């Protein structure tokens, strides 16, 4: 059944129109009309089975049939702190990380960041990245759209994360691997987040790693082979959610 994001559920209304942005896909692409059923979902983790009651002009009206709260979100909240890579690699990272189950993504500027996003273009980029995350969440059946933060400087993050326990910074050639760390430590209780720090092309500088360690981050590696930045974060996220989460069933 086709799924559509519902920004908010109009209170006290038996029948209501969907946002205009949904209409084109429902009518022109999917060819759905009155009587067809769809699934709506919101940021609160609720899904609604709905029936299209009428489709007129640029409006599609629906009626809620029932609601449920599916258990599709990982029990682990993972924040990916990703050094901004060159080109459009960040879009691939956002899409695939959302499918895997990341909770939030924060693009950061580091000493070795080559890509530069001018300040006047950051807002439009952020909107595009948020749309990519929302569409990926829709396609894979999630009810939470990963939060995409504004681009920040890595050095500015450490102070705010000093109180957080689980911070892993990936460094090539590090003697301790992620697998060993995960199997030697227990996953966080409650909803304490786990932060994964992945550098851009070239990784983090020695100074940045040292700053991370000072802030409580644990340096780990992903094995003997060098992974591209767009691969490293997805591999780390997969391993983390496999060992401590629900990936793999």
Beta strands 152-153 and 104-109, pairing class: parallel
The class (CATH top level) of 3-68 is mainly beta
DSSP 147-168: EEPPPEEHHHHHHHTTT-SEEE
Q: What is the pLDDT of residue 5?
A: 85
Give the residue from 90, 115, 101 showing the smallest Cα distance to 198: 90
According to CATH, where is 3.40.1280.10 located in the chain?
Answer: 78-243
Structural element, H or E, at residue 55: strand 47-56
Cα 95 versus chain centre, distance: 8
Strand partners, 155: none
Q: Give the chain's count of helices (H) and strands (E).
A: 7, 12
Q: Which CATH number fits domain 78-243: 1.10.287.610, 3.40.50.10800, 3.40.1280.10, 3.40.50.150?
A: 3.40.1280.10
CA distances (Å), origin 143, targets 33, 45, 49, 81, 102: 24, 5, 13, 22, 12
According to CATH, where is 2.40.240.20 located in the chain?
Answer: 3-68
Please report, in tens digits, the pLDDT of each residue of the chain (249 residues total): 898 888 778 877 778 988 887 888 888 888 888 999 999 988 777 889 999 998 877 789 999 999 887 788 899 999 999 999 999 999 999 999 999 999 999 999 999 999 888 888 899 999 999 999 999 998 888 888 999 999 999 999 998 887 778 999 999 989 899 999 999 999 988 778 999 999 999 999 999 999 999 999 999 999 999 999 999 999 999 999 999 999 988
């Amino acid at each position: 059944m086709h799924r559509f994001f519902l920004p908010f559920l109009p209170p006290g209304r038996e029948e209501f129109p969907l946002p205009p942005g949904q209409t084109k896909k429902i009518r022109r692409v999917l060819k759905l009309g009155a009587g067809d059923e769809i699934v709506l979902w919101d940021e609160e983790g609720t899904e609604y089975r709905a029936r299209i009651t009428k489709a007129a002009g640029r409006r599609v009206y629906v009626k809620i049939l029932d609601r449920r709260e599916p258990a599709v979100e990982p029990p682990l909240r993972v924040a990916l702190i990703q050094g901004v890579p060159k080109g459009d690699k960040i879009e691939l990272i956002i899409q695939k990380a959302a499918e895997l189950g990341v909770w939030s993504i924060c693009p950061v500027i580091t000493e070795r960041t080559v890509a530069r996003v001018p300040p006047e273009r950051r807002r439009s980029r952020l909107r595009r990245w948020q749309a990519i995350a929302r569409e990926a969440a829709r396609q894979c059946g999630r009810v939470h759209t990963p939060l995409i933060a504004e681009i920040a400087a890595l050095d500015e993050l450490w102070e705010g994360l000093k109180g957080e326990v689980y911070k892993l910074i990936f460094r090539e050639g590090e003697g301790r691997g992620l697998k060993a760390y995960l199997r030697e430590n227990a996953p966080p209780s409650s909803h304490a987040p786990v932060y994964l720090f992945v550098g851009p092309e070239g990784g983090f500088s020695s100074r940045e790693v040292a700053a991370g360690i000072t802030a409580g981050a644990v340096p780990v590696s992903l094995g003997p082979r060098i992974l591209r930045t767009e691969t490293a974060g997805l591999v780390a996220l997969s391993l983390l959610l496999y060992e401590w989460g629900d990936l793999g069933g």
